Amino acid sequence: MVLARWPVPGRCKRRLAAGIGIWRAAAVQRRLGQHTLASARALEPISHGSIAADLVLAADALGPRAAQRWARELGADRGVGQGNGSLGLRMQRQLQRALREGSDHVVLIGSDLPKLQGGDLLAAFRALEQAPLVLGPADDGGYWLIGLTRQAPPQLAGRLCSGMPWGTAQVLECTLAAARQLGVQPVLLERRGDLDRPEDLRPWR
């Protein structure tokens, strides 16, 4: 599942836009979304049939029909709306939706990862064969991926997504602490950097 914001100038990548302007920031957001969905679509041939994955685009700032159209344009199997609320609430809603719909494993990522590859997602699904929780640490102290299994404690998604200091360098640390309180030891993937500020563009150009 990919969380993505519709790339409208002035309504996306605000920290990036402060340095490069709203139109260039929206263009970057559009390219990132295309790259993320292309990387996610690459999971199927890499998996050699061991994983039957449903690729869902959870769109922010779009209604259900527009989300479906955008999902089709990007090659996702379907599109849904993120709904209202904080980042944590929107993440929790999508994780619980996937599990409620019968998924054995759900992996959620954002669309700010210029170095994302299909192999990263395959590693997450493989990790979920060994543990109920997988996290991808981010350079800024957060995480770029979260994955859960149906066997995870039912309250885990809510505990990991509620009351977190989103946008700070303590997000991963607080998430790990919340998992430990429920007796869950996550698998950690390789560290990745997302693209939020003008200086983050340098290695991507």
Other beta carbons within 10 angstroms of residue 180's beta carbon come to 11
Q: What tokens were used for 17?
A: 């836009």
Do 55 and 41 meet the contact criterion of CB atoms below 8 Å apart? Answer: yes
| Residue among 63, 115, 35 at smallest CA distance from 27 | 35
- Residue 157 has what DSSP assignment? H
Q: What gap in Å lies between CA 132 and CA 184, rounded to an integer? A: 7
Domain boundaries, the chain: 2-204
Q: What tokens were used for 1?
A: 């599942």
What are the helix (H) ranges across 42-117?
43-47, 64-74, 87-100
Do 8 and 25 meet the contact criterion of CB atoms below 8 Å apart? Answer: no
Q: What is the mean pLDDT of each run of 10 residues along the chain (205 residues)?
A: 88 81 89 92 61 84 88 93 91 94 94 89 93 95 96 94 92 96 96 80 65
Residue at 82: amino acid letter: Q
**CATH of 2-204 among 3.20.20.10, 3.30.460.80, 1.10.3210.10, 3.90.550.10:** 3.90.550.10
| Residue among 151, 146, 119 at smallest CA distance from 135 | 146
Q: What is the pTM of this model?
A: 0.90
User: In a 3-state reduction of DSSP, which class is residue 173?
Assistant: helix
Q: What gap in Å lies between CA 186 and CA 180, rounded to an integer? A: 9
What helix, strand, coil percent values describe the chain, rounded to 5? 45, 15, 40
Which residue's entry shows tokens 């263009």?
Answer: 27
What does the pLDDT read at residue 48?
Answer: 43
Do 144 and 109 meet the contact criterion of CB atoms below 8 Å apart? Answer: yes
